Every structure is written in C-alpha cells, then in structure tokens.
Chains A and B, each alone.
Chain A
Amino acid sequence: MNLGSRFGSLFCIAAIAAAIVAPNAEAQGRRSTAPAPAANPPAEAVRLLKVRPNIYMLSAGGTNVTVQTGKHGVLLVDAPLPSAAAATFAAIATLTPAPIRYVINTSATRDHIAGNEAVAALGRTSGAGPTLNGAGNTVLLGSAQGMTILAHENVLNELTRATGAAAVSRDVLPTTEYFEPTRDFSFNGEPVIVQHMPNAHSDGDSIVLFRGSDVISAGDVFTPDRYPLIDRAHGGSVQGVIAALNAILAMTVPEAFAEGGTKVIPGHGRLCEETDVAEYRDMVYIVTDRVRDLIAKGKTLVEVQAARPTLDYDDEYRSAAVTPAMFVEAVYASLVADKVTKDH
C-alpha cells in the first residue's frame, strides 16, 4: 500500500469520523453529541517519544496514543485524533512495517476514539488487516474491519446509543468489549492487562498495563497537564478519579529514590512516573476535601466556586478543556450525589 497516496482519503475519512463521533466535551458533566465542526481539520504535528524498546508515546494536539510494536503487529491504546491520523500512521511506519492489529479505547471520549475510523480504513482497500506498507498482512482479526477494537462494554453501549449525526459506524465500534473488572491477553510476547476504572472520568474507563514493559497507559483518568475531565452525564465522579489514581499508584513501582521504574502514559500531557501521579492525586484529593468542607458549611455551587478552592492549582492545571469552574462543578456534583445516595 502506498501510504502517501492515501493521505488524502485518510483526511476525508478522518473528517467523517470527526463528524460522526461526539466532539470533545467542552464542559464537565456532558459529552457533546454535536458533530465535530471541522470538515478538514488542520493536520496536527506528531511527536514520537520512545518509552521502552517496543513502547512509544505519540503526541499530537495534546492527546497521547500509546504504541506497542512487535512480532504480532502494532497495538494502539487509543486512536489518534482524526486530524493527526495520517501523521500518526506515518510515524508508526518509521517504527515497524507491521500492521495495526489492535486498538484499545480507554473511554468513549472523542479525542481517544474518533480516530478508530482512520485506523480501520487502513485495511479496507487491501481486503486484509490494516497494514501500513503493503507488507501483505492477510490475517483478519476480530470484527469486520480486520482488527480488534477493545473497550469496556460501557463504551460500546455509549457509542451504539448515539443516533443521527452522532451515530457511529459499525466498523469503528469496539465490538470486543469486556464487562469483567479485568481483561488480559498476550500480545507481542507480553501480558497486556486492561483494567476497568469504574465511574472515574466516565463509566467506561480502562487503564492498560503492559506488564513486561512496565508501562501503564492511563487514558483520561490521569491528565497531568489539566484538571480531570469528569463526565458526570456518563457516570464520571471525582471519587472514581481518586480511586483510579490510587489504583495506578498501587501498580507503579519506582526503580530507586522515587524515580524511574514504571512509566505512565497519560491521556494528555507528559510522560510520567509514580510521584507525578501522586502529585496529581494529591491535587484532586485536596480540592475535593475543600469542596466537601464548603458543602458541609452549606455553601451552594456558586458560593463554592466563588471561594476558589482550586486557586493554588489553577496556574498549573487550568486548560480550555477543563476550566477551574468546570472542575469544581464536577467535584461538587459528585459529592452531592454521593451524599444523596448515602442519605437514602
């Protein structure tokens, strides 16, 4: 396959994918189902960071994709942004001629799943599994698109509920869904352990442990460059985020002096290690404690936001995707909902 000649069509496919999958949530508590606005989004620059000999972090537009390479092919944790798909595939082609055979979606959030279409499209014209260089992959895996897309069943449920402009093509659905707490399999000679993080950023979050490489791909439960995006409308809660971060901390092991060892690839932001996760967990924990205290004093959401419980973290974690007010609102709603549940 001539990858270069296909970039144009990939952009079209990417644009279609962007149009049919819900765009990035602009506010806490709701995942927008409106079509993506850009018909031909500008191409994102892709940066490739080697994490381990066979694990890479691909960054484009502030979103990360984990790439595992090896004898079985390429495994992606999350699909690239549609606007970065072509550049992502070109970057992967510099690593290996092997086809992309596995995609794990860590949630239903658009910026991690919209690129499924572009990945699936790689294999269509060859009639075989997705391949980057025409190396002749002839193995059909999983669903009809010729590769396996794995996610928690709540991701599949969410995507199949979408209708109209937000409807998702069957080709890009994660039809290899799992419902148990943990799904594991071996790929490229190492155990890959997919673990559900209940009610964290959403109700369908997964984190992925590459046990041999000692790398965790955390998805959007850990985003060190911004406050957590807590999708309240789809089961997200701050309690779940803290639990997920604690779960990651329980899995990470530093090499020495609280450094090195397990690498953590976040959904957004820089490559991290255990103490980076701990710092982030502490921030979420402390802000949550402050909001809880204000709620106990009878403060309304507006009053809590006016008290600025995130003041000391805003310059470090404020982003357009998650403003301090949005984060506080999500924390407030999580705590109030929890209180209502306990009261009943």
Chain B
Amino acid sequence: MQTTGFGGILGLAFMKTQQSLPFGAGIFAVALFQTAASVAWAQNVDFSGAWTPLYHEDGPERLPGPELGDYTGIPVTEAARLRADSYDADRISVVTEYQCRQHSADYSMRGLATLRVDSEVDPPTQRLLAFHTRIGFQAMERTIWLDGRAHPPPEAAHSWQGFSTGVWNGNVLTITTTHLKAYYLRRNGIPSTPNRTLTEHWMRHGDFLTVVTIIDDPAMLTEPLVRSQSWVLDPGQQMGPTECEPATELPGAAQLVPHHLPGTNPWLHLFADEYGLPYAATRGGAETLYPEYRSVMGQPAKPPPAQCDVYCICSTLFDCNRVPGTNLLGGRIPGVPVGGPARAVAPPAATAPPRPAAQ
C-alpha cells in the first residue's frame, strides 16, 4: 500500500490511538468515522508530482523511433498493415493541419517528454476529484476525473487527450479514455482510429510510477495492444511553455496528401534486411507476438549486429561507443566476447533511408 500525505499519516495515527481509548459509544462513533476516512484514503495513491520517463522498455522504438516497416509486437489487422504500408511521414509535415498536433493520450505515455501530475480536491470534503496531467511536448494536458462522471455521448467532439475517468482498484488507478482523435500506434505509421478505447493501470512503487496501457481498436488491432512504461519521481523538474505555429512548407501543399500506393513503398524491407529477419516476421499480427512464433518463423538470414549501428541514439542508455560485449555499466555480458573498437555510429549517408519526422 502506498500511503502518502498528511491525511494518510493522520488516519493511521488516529487508528492506533483508538486502541488505547475507553470503549464508549461516542468514541466508537468517532473511531468508525475516522477509520472509514482512513480506509477511503488508503484506496488512493498520490500520483501528484513531477516524473521523468525511463526508457529501459522499448527504448529504440521510443527514442530514435521505430524503423520503417517494423510492425513487430503489434497485433495489427490487415487494414492496419495496409494503411501503415501506405504511410509517408511527409504527411505530418506537408499537411499543415498535422504539424502542431499533440501526441494522443495513448501515444504520449510512450513519448519523450516529462510528466507532471497535479491533484484536485474538493475543498469542503477534501475528496480527490481529479488528477491533471501535463506532458511537456506540445503542452499535452489531460484531466482524469475521479468523481464518477459519465463519458460524453458518442457524437461529442474528440481530442488528442480524449476524455478520461478513473476508478480505484486497491492501490491501482484504472483509467478509461474515450473520444480520442485518430493518431498512430507507432511512429512509422501504424494507425489508430478515433473509435479506440484506452485503458491504463497506474501503479506507484515508491518513487517509481508504472503505467500499463491497453488499447482496444478493433478496426486496427485483432486483440488489445498491451504495453507498459515507467517513470521516476523527479522533484526538481521544471517544465517550460510550448508554442507551435504551422507553416506551409511546399507550394501547393494544401492539395497534397503524401502516401505510397499499394506495393510501391520502397522502405518496407529495410528492417528485415538489416537484421536478417524473415520479412513475414516483421509484418506484425497477433500470431507474431507470442514465443510459439519462433518455431514457425524460420531462421534469421544473419546474426544480429553486435551492437546498434543504425538508427541509434548515443546516450548513456544506448552508448554507441560502448565496447561490444560489455553492458551499460562497463561490465562483461556473459557468453559474449569482449573486444574490438565500437563500430561507426551512423550508416553511410547513401544507404540511410529517410526517417519519419519525430513527433
């Protein structure tokens, strides 16, 4: 149980005091009241504070970004696969309407920006009414209502952050978000529709926040897409303002929607070729998500690279200059020979395919 804040401490202290008090009716009534209050508070974990995302999960996808044609790990439908194949990242820069868009709430939890959570309480009762979240990129602000209100009707407008309500399951806050705008599930163009529902489970373990996201989007996913992300408390964090103003980048852009016609996207095999994977294994789908798929996938055409040498981000977490065979802390990786200088960080310019614009 995570019990934080003055109210929680007071509640626990009072409960302990009651054990030594005479058993009188009035006192019993007070004890009942206070116990109930403390129990109610105990169901609530205080998520307020400033948080910094950790990238030990799916780091390459979330930081440098997914590789083109990499649909692994996503239970895509045939429709989603075709739309992703048709996707051209120029679309989010040429089409000015998209230039300044926020991440949608489901994608923003995967993103690169810091998170701040503020709590809102009802002054007379001190009951928690809502959490207000802000993620730095494009000023993504969301309210998670905890007061039992209903979601808007289906004909109501959608937004990037959608409409979120939360309920407590013990110490887990379960959030349901609807009314999201169409976006993508992965930055290389795997789409999501405005009909999807996002379910989140927020869990706090000391200074760590774990958020499990579950996306239901039957048009694009054959089964729910389940992912998790972690954050660490960062009290010193400061979040600056964000502004964005769209600008036309090409003459005649207002009449242009960049996309690839079916069968013409030249980049779809890059990922499979780079890692020697069977092409079918890179195409996603529920059947590729589970370990059993290895038995039917076929053998890689070549061993995986000793270290990341394409689409890498050279930070502490992904140290491109690290000696092969060593871990992030410089220690040896069991069973892997150590030695040799690190390979070049960037691929030759001539072979580097265009990247989707980071968004």
Contacts and interface: CB of A to CB of B under 8 A. Distances in A.
B155 A315 contact: no
A49 B156 CA distance: 7
A312 B156 contact: no
Contacts of A185: none
A259 B246 CA distance: 12
B91 interface: yes
B157 A281 contact: no
A279 to B, nearest CB: 5
Given A246-B255, A316-B219, A270 B157 contact: yes
Interface string B254-271: 110101011000000000
A257 B83 contact: no
Contacts of B79: 311-315
Contact of B195 (A274, A279, A285, A316): A316
A276 B195 CA distance: 12
Interface in B93-134: 95, 97-102
A257 B101 contact: yes
Given A257-B138, A276-B194, A282-B91, A312 B86 contact: yes
For this complex, into which size category does the number of interface residues on chain B fall?
35 or more
A49 B158 CA distance: 13
Contacts of B138: 257
A257 B97 contact: no
B218 interface: yes
Interface string A264-287: 000001111111111101100110
A257 B101 CA distance: 5
A278 B95 contact: yes
Given A258-B100, A259-B102, A276-B194, A270 B156 contact: yes
Size band of the interface chain A makes with B: 35 or more
Interface in B65-84: 77-83
Contacts of B154: 270
B116 to A, nearest CB: 17
Nearest to A260: B159
A65 B303 CA distance: 62
A285 B94 CA distance: 14
B155 A281 contact: no
A271 B102 CA distance: 19
A254 B101 CA distance: 10
Nearest to B99: A258
Contacts of A286: 86, 257, 259
B139 interface: yes
Interface of B: 77-83, 86, 91, 95, 97-102, 138-139, 153-160, 181-182, 191, 193-195, 218-220, 244, 246, 254-255, 257, 259, 261-262
18 contacts: A49-B153, A49-B155, A57-B155, A64-B155, A246-B254, A250-B254, A256-B139, A257-B101, A258-B160, A271-B155, A271-B157, A272-B158, A279-B182, A281-B257, A286-B257, A289-B259, A315-B219, A316-B193
